[in-house]
Structure 1
Amino acid sequence: MKWMALMKWKIAAAGLLSLLASSITLADHTIVRVGVYENPPKILMGPDGLPSGIFGELIREIALRENWQLQAVSCQWDACLSALRSGELDLLPDVARTEAREREMTFHQRPALHSWSQVFRHQDVSIDSVLDLEGKRIALLAGSVQQAYLQQVAQEFSLQVEWLPVSSLQAALEQVRDGQADGLATNNLFGSHHADRYQLESTSILFQPARLFFAAPLNSHHDYLQRIDHWLTRWSDQPDSPYQRILQGWQTEKPLNTVPKSLWIFAGILIVLLLLALILMKYQRREIRFTRRELKRSDEKLSTILSNLQAYVYIKDLQHHYLYASPKVCELFNCSESDILGQTDEAFFDPDSAAEIFRLDDQTLLSGETLVREEVNKLPGEEEPRTFLSVKVPMRDDQGKIYALCGLATDITEQQRHKKEVHQLIFYDVLTGLPNRRLLLDRLQHSLVNRHQEIGNGAVIMIDLDNFRTLNDTLGHQTGDQLLTAIARRLSHQIRVSDTLARFGGDEFMLLLEDLSADTSVLLNQVEQVLDKLIAAFEQPFILQNQDYVTTASFGVALFSDSQHSAEELIKQAELAIYDAKKVGRNQVRFFDTRMQQQAEHRAELEFGLRRALKENEFILYYQPQYHSNQQLLGAEVLIRWQPPDQPLVSPADFIPVAETTGLIVPMGHWILRTACKQLVRWADDPETAHLTLAVNISAVQMHHHQFVDDVLSILSETGAPAHRLELELTESLLIDNIEHTIDKMLQLKQHGIRFSLDDFGTGFSSLNMLISLPLDTLKVDQAFVRDMHRDPRDLAVARTIIDLGRSLSLNVIAEGVENEQQLKSLRMLGCQCFQGYFYARPMPIDAFIEHCQLPVPLF
């Protein structure tokens, strides 16, 4: 019992010291004035007088790490904006970034939240589209961007709508609840948050996607904004970061916390009880003096144990400040314990190591579970990092609440180094440093087992040096070793990190390719790209004995699908392919599979033909007309065709994939775009054709090319074509990678008037969020849905959804693949007004296009 009393006193003393340290730290806090207006769940005033909601909790998490003291300033929206402009506020959350506001305030770079505006209706009112707003009463925030936008839309559609401007969003909610309004226009987060409580239903009327930021007065507080960007960048990609937890918490419609009056009464009673407890403490002084003596003896024993323990022991608080450091930790940091206490790991480790330690500590504190992990950390002034076997344990009080973290770490750097050296000797070639035959066979066997369990393919490429024995006989084995080392180093630069390049024998190398496509044509492309890099590696001479030495190699390829049994069988097949390559003259590539070898030769012929076609101008453009429902010709989509001399047309399905994998699609795309722009110039000279547009398909390779924007603008400048008559057509597959870079390029081109359309929408990976983020002008209904829409209700439903979605987002919608009158009537009934397909005309050369559309013949 005495020991338990001693421990309780020690804990109480530690609590007092912690409280004192917290009060000292608070004095050094920077006061940040934050404007708070009621717009849950994004921002609202919390019961503790501090900001709450998504933005409120986010700035509180950042303030905790930046030692900021937040001062919440409650205000209405317009008053908050005025206070920010006059400098009475340091930060204002939940501000959409516009050109007008950038002239009045300062923003950080990375958006804190993505949102959009939406119309919400009372559950007893029917509103499905913009046209349903006719005769409705819509409440909205006075002076908001929603009011300006919807009033303009109503004017364009000649709709009679009764607008009900209010001073706060809460007033708008009450009007809908009391039957004074049929719906309200607000941001999607606010409306979704209050939907159940106020009998609201979301509609398909979406508009004005916005990126939301913290704003500061113009040209001031850049340091606050930079730190906000720092934490947003750091937390955005961490699933368990405070940022992600805040979003997940509010997306589940977390209720707002309020403090009931009964709680205040209880707090008052508790204070009275505490005063009584203080009186009772006077009678316990004698026991406390005894407890102090016992604690001192206990501390001396504990200090003796920790001083002789060959491990690093430490305790940190919830803010990752050191509360205790053992002598071994002081030795590691080369400073006294007093210099360590109150500091974080940023004072003792390099930035990357400190960030990783912070992440693991945070994981332990949040999960409440013991964490055992090998950590690789680097101390300033040391060239090599150290490896620690670390155990992190959360410390809990009597109520089970975590109040600190205790860690124990052991330096295992030397053990790891010895282990790595032994592993290197067993599995790696001493001369080249590459994996040896043993490691390659192990990885190959493992990969073959995985291949039978998953969908995919792989390959092995054997590389045998030509005439290597002659080099050894003439210049000696030492020179031969130099060549092998140089080849290993050069080939290693040509492969992916996931590939395995091994030294398989005296003058043989083996390359293991994993995670390749199961599709035969795609697989062939992937292997050929690797082979091109390997062959190119031998084209430059090697320097041996201060002289240039040129050598070649033969390549044998075997695919995982060629072998049904073992790694040894697959390697034997690669050796057979090598033998065949050397038999036909060395410096050759041979596939074990005869059929694939024929396909490789066919693709090589196609690539050679495409290069010739670009030089000899063998490509021609076909035009497929696009019509409005009133029979007016709108323009055309341009499609490339290849006409080799004295041969039939080559299908784009055959040569476009080859052009994309070889990079020839870039110069081919330049030719298509330049030819289309010249045609636009010819049409612009005639009043009857000046209104026509041309849609040009853009591939992913073109869009991701670093000079794409400059090339397009250069062609427009060179030809003088009207930019607003040019429409670049993108596909869903193009949007999978680097979506933000793609949007940035689109915005740059739209500044010059160029239009964009999205093809094949709904057939791939597009989402509503992606769609509203893209600066599109036209949405195309894919022919896959049009073809069977009159027979398959699902295709009809998809087509209707795409058309309604395009109209809600104010996009032009065009249906492609229209082949008969029944399809045309169905599309018209769904509200589609623009069409393209065989019902009107097939793609045709320009002369036939002019004749078909009865256009005047252009003068050249």
Structure 2
Amino acid sequence: MPRVLRLLVFVSLLGCLGQAGAQGAAPLRVGVSNNAPNLFMNEQGQASGILIDLLREIASAERWTLEFVPCEWAACVDLLAAGRIDLLPDVAWSEDRARVLALHRVPVLHSWSQVYARPGSGIRALPDLKGKRIAVLGSSIQSQILPDILASYGATAVLVPAASLERAFALAGQGDVDAVAANHFFGDLQAAGQGLQATGVVFNPTRVYYAALPGRQQAVLDAIDRQLEAWRADPQSVYFATLRQWQGREKAQVMPSSLWWALATAVGLLLSALAVASWLRTEVAVRTRELRENDEKLTTILDSVESLIYIKDTQSCYQYVNGAMCRLLNRPAAAIVGHDDETLFGVVQSRITRAGDHVVLTEQRRYETEEHLSGKVFLTTKIPLARDGTVYALCGISTDITPNKQAEESLRIAAIVFQSGEGMCVLNPEAMMIEANEAWGILVGTPAAELPGTAFPPFALEQDGDDYRERMWDMVRRDQTWQGEVWTRRRNGQAYPAWLTVSAVRDANGVLTNFVCTQSDISARKQADEKIVQLAYYDPLTGLPNRRLLEDRIETALQHANRSHAKAAIMYLDLDGFKAINDTYGHAYGDDILKMVSQRLLSTSRKEDTVARLGGDEF
């Protein structure tokens, strides 16, 4: 009995020491590379960015102390591997990284990579990168996957690694390389400053995580998952507020077709009015009232059109502007007429617009181009105005196509994402398949072309559990989204665990139109989790629970005994003379003895009992 009491006192002391350790917990060391707006060190030397703000919110909720460690990306990776930082934000998922790093389940951001180049580079698609020199951040996800993507197009390029993203963009801006590849968050912020622009080359849609070393910060990663799951379920949460603060832009609406008809009508009216005005000059005396009325009507029509309509003379000075032009410049017509583009838009923009004017006035032909004015994209058509065979002015019509451009970009990105490696499908409101990508077909074991018209496959929350589909559809219709770990089967009957996300899509009137689903096979992760648990809680030699698991079970048994006023028993077993066996017959023989003792102890214990090896010859 005294020995048992001593053991209980020892367990109590361990609990006290654990509480004291928790109260004086070391700060969580976080690596901060420079990848704005995701994360960076600001001018005051403080960590900032989307991922930093979100991590601070989680740390506040979890009562963590954060210590930020500035480092270049490659150095951050080395510091994590050496254990000198605990957490590395902004890690894009890849199979290699998932094997060597511990990641949480719910991605903190979704991103993609894009190529940026100088205007006139001719780079519009992936095959255009053949033979080019492309700057990338050393050890980045772009440096790892871009060669394989190019190889699939039968192309190769020379990748030039840089120590930082700023250096990579500087190389492209100075002309030392042909282009630079980076994540679109950083690229969109930095490109203009280096005289670069986004090309049509977009690749590797991916998920972004916080990473730790396996087995080191699992409690931290679990806490991050809890917070992200709660935030993403609430549109008013700090998660969405942070995203809106850093990158909030309303989705552009596609230009209605009626506006195109209005524009065409206005152009026709303008040309007709010019012809009528020429004819009316010969009959001014008798047609003054009609001319005034028609002029007022034309002005009303032109001013109501959202397109910019203007007339310039041969010196590119404005002679007429409509209401849309006045609204763009926030000036009355009198403050615009008589001025040129250099006065109104600056030297750089005037050089671009004057180049088009020169073509129209000297070559006497129609000219179309895209122009960037006041942060918007315009489709501009310029036509020469001639009298007696001599061009005396030009008429320009510029239509804002910014929403179209943004919509085209969104559709292009959506198409790329749909063809990514993650399983995706679209269903009608009755949960019948409309479309699925190849990755989904591979997961369920059915070619994607055969899936439209079929029902969504059954799944359960536990292996061999009941079908959960109807309850899930009810929750999605009510809450708009659902995600979780499920068990489902392939066409051949093989069961596998998956991470399933389902979202409801509604029209402008709130009517349900579709369900969108994504699915990932998490078999490898489940196996890795089981292996980690085995290593953490069980003795590798005997397979018995180790000291850590024993302490947990003792604490649980004591709590149960206190609640139920029952008794709990502990037996401590120490093999006398075991050292002599090792010294005489060798450690292999000694290991066999320990295994044999373990089996005998198990054979004499009940199913609810715990047999553990504390270490050495102690059980």
TM-score by length of 2: 0.39
TM-score by length of 1: 0.29
Q: Which has the higher contact order (CA 8 A, sep 6+)?
A: 2
